[in-house]
Structure 1
Amino acid sequence: MSASHGSLPFKEQIDFFRDKVNLPTSSWADIYTTDHDYAFVVAGAVKRDLLSDLRGAVEKSIANGTTLEQFRKDFDQVIGKHGWQYRGERGWRTNVILETNLRQSYNAGREAQMADPELRKRRPYGVYRHGDSAHPRPMHLAWNGTTLPLDDAWWTTHSPSCGWGCKCKKFMLSARDVERQGLTIGPAPAIEWEDRVIGKNSPNGPRTVRVPKGIDPGFEYAPGQSRLANSVPQLRARDPLPAPSAAPVPVPATGLPNRQPTGPLPSPRPVLAKRLLPAKVPASKAVTQFLGEFGATDAAPAVFRDVTGDTLVVGREMFTDAKTGTIALAQQLKARELPLLAEAIKTPDEIWARLEWHPDLGKAVLRRRYLAHVQVEGKAAPAVAVFDQGADGWTGATGFVDDSEQYLEALRLGVRLYQRTE
């Protein structure tokens, strides 16, 4: 049996597994759903050295694509070394340990690939395909062929694997694929929820969880999605950008040259008037539209690769107040001008990098600044858009400025990574 779950191991799968931390547990119910995106656990393995060696055996199988029988030999060596008295018989236990880690790392890696916005433009749909389980689950069979947009909420709870030993998969499809395979898009199957008791053998005692029927407890999530959400930059507490309508004050940079010979800015490029949203558009609606430009939704972030090849995870969390959970725009942003911020990220005129001292962290933070200079149809003054992002969060500014070149010139700090050609 190949341990690569239907294909050779791939970078996103291996990276997902390697980024986990070892976590001793007494029962499989000690951690739940998205916790598995971050933790490697083997139920009952509470000694760190034992857990580390078990992890090494699993990682070897994932990275090298070895077989279950080869994993069992490594497992036997680890057990012999540590004298671990595990529950269950050897064949069943080794199969659960390897297959669960193998399949969920594979699924998380595929989810990371499917988050690519360019790929999602070409293949915006997902289809649920039943696996070749010896004992098919009726509901999983019923879901076979379900075809939905990848941003449909149904996938948040029904992305495979959907249970212990589940071999179902989710595949991306283009509109042509859907037609060629004779599939129908939607509607999503109705979700019926039920209460299940887990952790009967846990030292923490049993507890009740609510899961969709047909999904084993602990599998009602999309593998790897929580990592994407946690990678979305948060709004900075302090907003250092000058207001576009005011005379800017240059922000000093530390560690990189504050100035390099800049040369002239690219001339403002034309943008249609309809690029702006209605004057009284609600912030929540503007944010939803902004996310859509990157293949993200209110429920699911997406990975965007900029013109230099650097990646940015775009999601609703960028605009969410951490305390209230409500939409909160940066001080220098207007809801109707969020499409201009998207222009700065997607098609910038320039990208700059600099080190900026962060007093709260006691260290310098590398920041990237995206600048856009546009002429909106029907507007006398040019518009500017700035997206500034680093490990400590992001901020942005948009607005119409008579002396737009002076405003942007003050923000051209550090080292220029990219400039749009005229």
Structure 2
Amino acid sequence: MADGIPFQEAIDFLAGKVNLPTKRWDDLQHAGHVRGFAVAGVVRDDMLADFRAAIEKARRDGTGFNEFQKDFDAIVERTGWQYFSHGKTEEERRAWRAQIIYNTNMRTNYMAGRWSQLTDPDILRYRPYLQYIHSGSQHPRKLHLSFNMQVWETTNPIWRVIYPPNGWGCFCDVEALSERELRALGKTGPDPTPDLQPYQATDPRTGQPETRYPGIDRGWAYNVGEEWLHGIVPQELRKPLPAFDPERRPAEDLPALPSPTVVSEEMLAPEGLTDDDYVGRFLDEFGFREKGYGYFRDRSGGIVSMSKAMFETRDDAGNVTGSKSNKYERGPYMPLLAATIRDPDEIWVDWAAVTSGIVLKRSYIRRFVLPDKKALFVRFEWTSKGWIAITGFQSADRYVRKFRTGAMLYRRQEEE
């Protein structure tokens, strides 16, 4: 809120998020934080909803940090949440953690809303430049300080990396400038684009390669506004997860699925392998066969845990009773099951009713055309009960659409 006027774009950004329980801050990355509302260490749906309500109130009503800290204290008292924090006293620990949650969420939704305004065609026409404004911190990050007062065109790709915030506690900002205002600064044009010299590192959770930039905190080298407006979910599907409804049907305006992937014989596993070999072929696709387990970061930015347990059958006592890796003779499709998680057509989250109550399920779906021209539909679902992998030869849109419910986290973009 500014001058008593609600910041509608920032409110809209928050409204489109999906509550996603997480154990660690990097359970989600980049676009995952744009689409998902998460508080590291909060895995209970009710707690997450309370934190979100407190942040939404702060954004909508401009109530500020002191009011949010009261909400934080009330949530901790009610739930007994044991959270990670810094400080010598309990008061200091609570204040530190509340500040992290508040600042991170308020800064990202504010800057997402700002990007929506700054890239409006009418604004771009008269103010085509952005000036980086350093926060004035007493202990500045050298890279952020080096950008201070520098000007680049709003359309310059550099903003996909350095658009604030650029790290934990970063309060840097931008200001839109007209051509006349640029000249008034004594500049004849935008400043030279900085050469940030990205380097390749690895995700410490998954071992997957990731690009990092010196001076920008891990996980912050992206433009929250650009990802929101032009990211991995079509604009018409950027909706929050609705409440559980056993009778819910798919939306009427769902776009068609991406085109099925044509499969060659080389993409399939041989027939006649043992159950363990088929599980191995699946794990091979992620490099996990030797260890038998591992973590993978999916296309929506979320962490997926994998092991041979995904294909084990168990009795009511939890004892392993067999393997479902070649159930219905689907063993040769194991590489395609892996491809469905690695590069799905779509990822959805929705509520599911189980014996213990209502749980959040995460669904990966993808369609293939097999070498014999037969269509194959693969669906992977993860709930608190574990993994369910389903393959079938019915892949028409009208059939698949009944599995496309809840909130979309990712959609594969087809090459034009």
Instruction: Please classify the TM superposition score into its range, dividing by the shorter chain length.
Output: 0.5 to 0.7
- How does 1:41-120 map onto structure 2 within 5 Å? 41-88=38-85, 89-120=93-124
Q: Which residue of 2 aligns with 1:188?
A: 193
Quick one: structure 1 residues 99 and 185, their matched pair in 2 at CA, closer, same or farther if it must change by over 3 Å?
same
Is the 8 Å Cα contact of residues 7 and 59 (structure 2) preserved in structure 1?
no
Quick one: structure 1 residues 237 and 177, their matched pair in 2 at CA, closer, same or farther if it must change by over 3 Å?
same
Is the 8 Å Cα contact of residues 257 and 397 (structure 2) preserved in structure 1?
no
Q: Which residue of 2 aligns with 1:231?
A: 234
Instruction: Give the aligned length.
Output: 241
Q: Deviations over 1:279-329 (max 9, x none)?
A: xxxxxxxxxxxxxxxxxxxxxxxxxxxxxxxxxxxxxxxxxxx99xxxxxx
For 2:132, which of 122, 128, 133 is the aligned residue? 128
The structural deviation recorded for 1:226 is 2.2
d(CA) in 2 for partners of 1:76 and 1:121?
46
TM-score norm. by structure 1 comes to 0.52
d(CA) in 2 for partners of 1:6 and 1:212?
36
Q: Which residue of 1 aligns with 2:223?
A: 222
Q: Which residue of 1 aligns with 2:160?
A: 156
Q: Which residue of 1 aligns with 2:380?
A: none
Give 1 or 2 for the bigger CA radius of gyration.
Answer: 1
- How does 1:292-311 map onto structure 2 within 5 Å? none
Quick one: structure 1 residues 220 and 98, their matched pair in 2 at CA, closer, same or farther if it must change by over 3 Å?
same
Quick one: structure 1 residues 208 and 85, their matched pair in 2 at CA, closer, same or farther if it must change by over 3 Å?
farther
The structural deviation recorded for 1:224 is 2.6
Is the 8 Å Cα contact of residues 163 and 215 (structure 1) preserved in structure 2?
yes
The structural deviation recorded for 1:227 is 2.9
Is the 8 Å Cα contact of residues 131 and 166 (structure 1) preserved in structure 2?
yes
For 2:21, which of 24, 30, 49 is the aligned residue? 24
Amino acid at match of 1:56: A
d(CA) in 2 for partners of 1:210 and 1:125?
27
Report the secondary structure of 1:224's partner residue.
helix
TM-score norm. by structure 2 comes to 0.53
d(CA) in 2 for partners of 1:49 and 1:236?
33
Quick one: structure 1 residues 36 and 6, their matched pair in 2 at CA, closer, same or farther if it must change by over 3 Å?
farther
Q: Which residue of 2 aligns with 1:35?
A: 32
The structural deviation recorded for 1:228 is 2.0
Quick one: structure 1 residues 192 and 209, their matched pair in 2 at CA, closer, same or farther if it must change by over 3 Å?
same
The structural deviation recorded for 1:26 is 0.6
The structural deviation recorded for 1:231 is 3.4
Is the 8 Å Cα contact of residues 200 and 211 (structure 2) preserved in structure 1?
yes
d(CA) in 1 for partners of 2:80 and 2:2?
30
d(CA) in 2 for partners of 1:237 and 1:109?
30
d(CA) in 1 for partners of 2:227 and 2:144?
24
Amino acid at match of 1:27: R
Report the secondary structure of 2:23's partner residue.
coil
RMSD of equivalent CA atoms? 3.3
- Unmatched segments (≥5 aa) in structure 1: 239-321, 324-358, 363-392, 394-422
The structural deviation recorded for 1:197 is 6.3
Quick one: structure 1 residues 156 and 205, their matched pair in 2 at CA, closer, same or farther if it must change by over 3 Å?
closer
Q: Deviations over 1:1-30 (max 9, x none)?
A: xxx599964100111011111100010011
The structural deviation recorded for 1:51 is 0.8
Quick one: structure 1 residues 132 and 66, their matched pair in 2 at CA, closer, same or farther if it must change by over 3 Å?
farther
Quick one: structure 1 residues 211 and 7, their matched pair in 2 at CA, closer, same or farther if it must change by over 3 Å?
farther
Amino acid at match of 2:214: K
- Unmatched segments (≥5 aa) in structure 2: 86-92, 237-254, 260-343, 346-395, 400-412
Amino acid at match of 1:50: M
Identity value in percent: 36
Is the 8 Å Cα contact of residues 194 and 210 (structure 1) preserved in structure 2?
yes
Report the secondary structure of 1:127's partner residue.
strand
Report the secondary structure of 1:210's partner residue.
strand
- How does 1:187-206 map onto structure 2 within 5 Å? 187-195=192-200, 204=205
